[in-house]
Amino acid sequence: MPTQVQTIFSKASGRAGNYRIPSIVKTKSGVLVACADERFFTGRDNPNRIDKVVRRSFDNGLTWEEQIVVVEEVGESMKDASAAIDPCMLYDENSDTIFMIYSHTPAGIGILTCKKGLGQDQDGNLYLYEGRKRYTLKDGKVYDKSDKVNEDYEIKSNGDIIFKGQPAGNYKLNSGKLKELKSSHLYITSSNDDGLTWSTPLNITNQVKEKYMSFIGAGPGVGITVKEGKYKGRLIFPIYYNVWDIGQILMLSACIMYSDDNGKTWHRGKSPNQTRKHGIFPVGHRFVLPNDMITETQLIECKDGQLKLFMRNHSSKKLIATAVSDDGGVTWKDYKHNPYLPHCICQCCVITGDDDGREVTVFLNAADTKARRNGVIRLSYDYGETFEYSKLIKDGEFVYSCMVWLGDGKIGVLYEENTQHEEINFITVTLDEIKNGEQWK
């Protein structure tokens, strides 16, 4: 059986009543770093006050340090608070760096209400708006369209506004005299000391989002560093986006973003939705019917550097979709639904490890077509085409999850306990337990 369940994130160890969206990595120093959304006013998505928090373990998950706040948003009520939602971490062994991306939204904004646009100039400076008047924030100073400093304004690092020497709200909140674009902004932060301290988050929206897009967000879960082949060393995060901002319509497509310069700059690859055809006619990602939407994804590296994407999707088939890439995630082919992977339109997680000299793919999700329940872990020796072993590790409700390879045939599982979203738990599962347990179909 799996090890005893440990509650890693909850009101007992943090500052809020709700925790969601697990992400976990292990550094070459042997430190486990677990991350989650800390959700203050409810367990729901944004609009809400959502911060980013981590906990660390130095003994493969047996004990955990106190919670660390990585990203702190602002606001005193659900409708008037900003959010840093959905973490996705990537540990790059080459640089010994943990990267984390997440989606930031100002008060009152969620996936259905994001406006299209970047909210930044070409250099990454944030636009701030006073009615129809637009300013640019550079190094804490506010510039008008003629690039002249407006001496009436001072902006604090947390977004607080000082206007003519007096407090004037916060640009992330409804109270702000100036406001940022009411949209989704993609941010990145990093740690070079095993998750103890983190860099000031950087807004990279202008690098990966197009002006016609509204929402953009992380996988969530984990990203990877390519280990073999032509694109060796490439850092890859899964992301997804919406191309519509009228009438609360979702036209969602997944893709990846990648960096070939150790995270200094990022680029967006194409979506598998850009390879679709209706009959003989190609269909781009700017027109996506509900049945074609692909959203939260995770990926693995296969033989010779080929990548494989595992996708939450809205097809009536209720099966996880997959696609492969031979060019480091820039384009995708062989989009299909895997008959071995049922899902209820919910996030999944997948990693690779070593099983006595054989590369093994480990897949986990809520393996039910009707509800978020039945956490089933599966083993594959052909990169997720087929699965030789499967085991139910959590009966009843099971929601989002993330796995980490612990070594010696052990897998760490960080998962949401139930749909009340009051805690995130951790267990260790061994390959032998999966192989020797009762098979789950």
Q: What is the largest CA-CA distance in the chain?
A: 70
- The Cα 84–Cα 129 span in angstroms is 21
pLDDT tens figures, 407-433: 999 999 999 999 999 999 999 999 999
Report the pLDDT value the prediction gives residue 283, as an integer from 0 to 100.
Answer: 80
Q: What is the mean pLDDT of the chain?
A: 96
User: Looking at the predicted structure, is the pLDDT value of residue 3 above 80?
Assistant: no
Give yes or no for a contact between 256 and 236, defined as CB atoms under 8 angstroms apart: yes
CA-based end-to-end distance of the chain: 18
The catalytic site residues sit at: 45, 296
pLDDT tens figures, 245-275: 888 899 999 999 999 999 999 999 999 999 8
Q: What is the DSSP secondary-structure string of 82-127?
A: -EEEEEEEEEETTTTEEEEEEEEE-TT--TTTPPSS-SB-TT-PEE
pLDDT band, very low/low/confident/very high, at 282 (cuts 50, 70, 90) = confident
What is the set of domains in the chain, with CATH numbers? Answer: 6-124+183-436 (2.120.10.10), 125-180 (2.40.220.10)
Segment 205-232 mean pLDDT: 97
- The Cα 99–Cα 165 span in angstroms is 37
- The Cα 361–Cα 383 span in angstroms is 6
pLDDT band, very low/low/confident/very high, at 1 (cuts 50, 70, 90) = very low
**Residue percentage of the chain with pLDDT more than 90:** 93
- The Cα 105–Cα 83 span in angstroms is 5
- Least confident interval from 242-251, 349-358, 383-392: 242-251
Query: Model's pTM, two decimal places?
Result: 0.97
pLDDT tens figures, 133-180: 999 999 999 999 989 999 999 999 999 999 999 999 999 999 999 999
Give yes or no for a contact between 142 and 178, defined as CB atoms under 8 angstroms apart: yes
The position carrying tokens 């696609």 is 323
| Order of strands across the sheet that contains 153-155 | 153-155, 160-163, 166-170
3-state secondary structure of 435: helix
Q: Cα 393–226–188 angle (5° rounding)?
A: 80
Report the pLDDT value the prediction gives residue 440, as an integer from 0 to 100.
Answer: 83
Task: Name the token pair of 161.
Answer: 């506004």
User: Could you tell me which residues come within 8 angstroms of residue 155 by beta carbon, excluding any fewer than 6 positions away?
Assistant: 128, 137, 140, 141, 142, 161, 162, 171, 178
pLDDT band, very low/low/confident/very high, at 348 (cuts 50, 70, 90) = very high
- The Cα 198–Cα 204 span in angstroms is 16
Q: Where are the beta strands (DSSP E) in 116-192?
A: 126-130, 133-138, 141-143, 153-155, 160-163, 166-170, 185-191
β 83-92/160-163 pair status: unpaired
Report the pLDDT value the prediction gives residue 170, as an integer from 0 to 100.
Answer: 98
Long-range Cβ pairs for the range 313-320 (8 Å, 24+): 313/337, 313/345, 314/290, 314/345, 315/291, 316/291, 318/342, 318/343, 318/344, 318/345, 318/369, 319/343, 320/348, 320/365
Report the pLDDT value the prediction gives residue 439, as an integer from 0 to 100.
Answer: 86
Question: Is the four-CA dihedral 162, 167, 173, 176 of positive or negative sign?
Answer: negative
Q: How many CA atoms lie within 13 A of 289 on its CB side?
A: 7
User: Looking at the predicted structure, is the pLDDT value of residue 376 above 60?
Assistant: yes
Give yes or no for a contact between 38 and 85, defined as CB atoms under 8 angstroms apart: no
Give yes or no for a contact between 355 and 362, defined as CB atoms under 8 angstroms apart: no
- For residue 436, the 8-state DSSP code is H
pLDDT tens figures, 290-313: 999 999 999 999 999 999 999 999
pLDDT band, very low/low/confident/very high, at 2 (cuts 50, 70, 90) = low
Task: Name the token pair of 241.
Answer: 């986006």
